[in-house]
């Protein structure tokens, strides 16, 4: 997105072409590995051989996010349509290969497949409900309903990872036990933005009040549990009954630029940042959608 935007602003396609070359290599490696719309999370820089796992978590999340957002940023033109096609195929793979249910069927989550297959969901994967909701806004009726249905189910699980802890804050990863109880694995609260980001996009897309209500509870927990004299801290164990005794002496850079920004926007007027005019990059910086068609030479062959 960033290099594509730079080419658009400077009217010089060389920046977008650099990104195009990297993207083409990733697409080629994915095709060679026989992916089901999904990509493995590692590529050998010399051979181009793909390996590892497929997930919506670490090492993969922004890749899928940008397949959709490059298309939106480019004005949904023919020049960037191949990215949207790849995204649609990936979402089919998400539903077929990654989407799982807890043993009692009450909660949906995104697993990891491949070399490191696991039924664990990372906090990072909670960007996916927002991504699906964003994609639904321009999808045909059948896919719109499908994307939103999956997004809302995943959102419930992501929010539950917060509300079911004593602190009201979410762990960095979790799984479900045989009784369908959500069990934190990495118990640290790392101030991540993905849950509130998805709440914001789902609120704008559905206008359902519950997304603001859930966001308010998360904000209150942040204020109550993590606010300190000079800023906001992390928490080592979200399951503790004494969080102030288990603070992490660190305020993440993305806490201000993403987590609090999305919370602010969640409670702002819906037209504060119109999603038909702006696209957020993966660090929550708004980028204006191209007005001249997005033809910067940025194409997948």
Known binding-site residues for Ca(2+) equal 282
Distance CA 157, CA 109 (A): 7
Coil/strand/helix, residue 195: helix
Question: Rounded to the nearest 5°, which phi and psi values hold at 240?
Answer: -75, 150
| Alpha-carbon radius of gyration of the chain | 19
β-pair partners for 100: 109
Comparing CA positions, the residue from 207, 277, 210, 263 lying closest to residue 232 is: 263
Instruction: Output the DSSP codes for 131-142.
Output: HHHHHHTTS-HH
What is the rounded CA–CA span in Å between residue 99 and residue 55?
A: 10
Say if strands 173-176 and 121-122 run parallel, antiparallel, or are unpaired. antiparallel
Helix (H, G, I), strand (E, B) or coil at 233: coil
Q: What is the rounded distance in angstroms from the CA atom of residue 5 to the CA atom of residue 249? A: 36
Residue closest to 262 by CA, chosen among 214, 224, 228: 214
Terminal-residue alpha carbon distance, the chain? 18
Residue ranges at the known binding site: 282
DSSP letter (8 states) at residue 289 = P
Reduced to 3 states, what is the DSSP secondary structure of residue 221?
helix
């Amino acid at each position: 997105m960033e290099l594509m935007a730079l080419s658009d602003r400077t009217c010089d396609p060389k920046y977008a072409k650099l990104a195009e070359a990297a993207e083409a290599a990733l697409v080629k490696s994915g095709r060679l590995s026989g992916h089901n719309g999904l990509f493995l999370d590692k590529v050998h820089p010399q051979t181009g051989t793909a390996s590892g796992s497929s997930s919506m978590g670490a090492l993969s999340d922004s890749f899928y996010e940008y397949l959709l957002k490059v298309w939106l940023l480019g004005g949904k033109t023919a020049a960037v349509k191949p990215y949207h096609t790849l995204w649609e195929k990936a979402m089919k793979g998400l539903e077929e290969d990654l989407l799982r249910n807890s043993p009692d069927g009450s909660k949906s989550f995104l697993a990891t497949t491949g070399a490191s297959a696991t039924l664990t969901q990372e906090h990072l994967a909670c960007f996916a409900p927002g991504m699906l909701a964003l994609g639904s806004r321009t999808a045909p009726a059948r896919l719109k309903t499908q994307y939103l249905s999956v997004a809302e189910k995943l959102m419930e699980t992501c929010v539950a990872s917060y509300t079911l802890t004593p602190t009201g804050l979410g762990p960095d990863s979790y799984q479900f036990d045989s009784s369908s109880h959500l069990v934190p694995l990495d118990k640290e609260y790392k101030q991540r933005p993905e849950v509130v980001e998805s709440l914001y996009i789902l609120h704008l897309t559905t206008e359902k009040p519950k997304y603001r209500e859930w966001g308010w509870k998360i904000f209150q927990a942040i204020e109550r549990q993590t606010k300190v004299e000079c800023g906001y801290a992390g928490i080592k164990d979200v399951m503790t009954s004494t969080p102030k005794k288990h603070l992490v002496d660190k305020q993440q850079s993305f806490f201000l630029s993403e987590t609090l920004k999305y919370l602010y926007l969640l409670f702002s007027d819906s037209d504060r940042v119109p999603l038909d005019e702006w696209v957020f990059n993966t660090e929550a910086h708004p980028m204006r959608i191209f007005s001249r068609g997005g033809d910067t030479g940025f194409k997948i062959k």
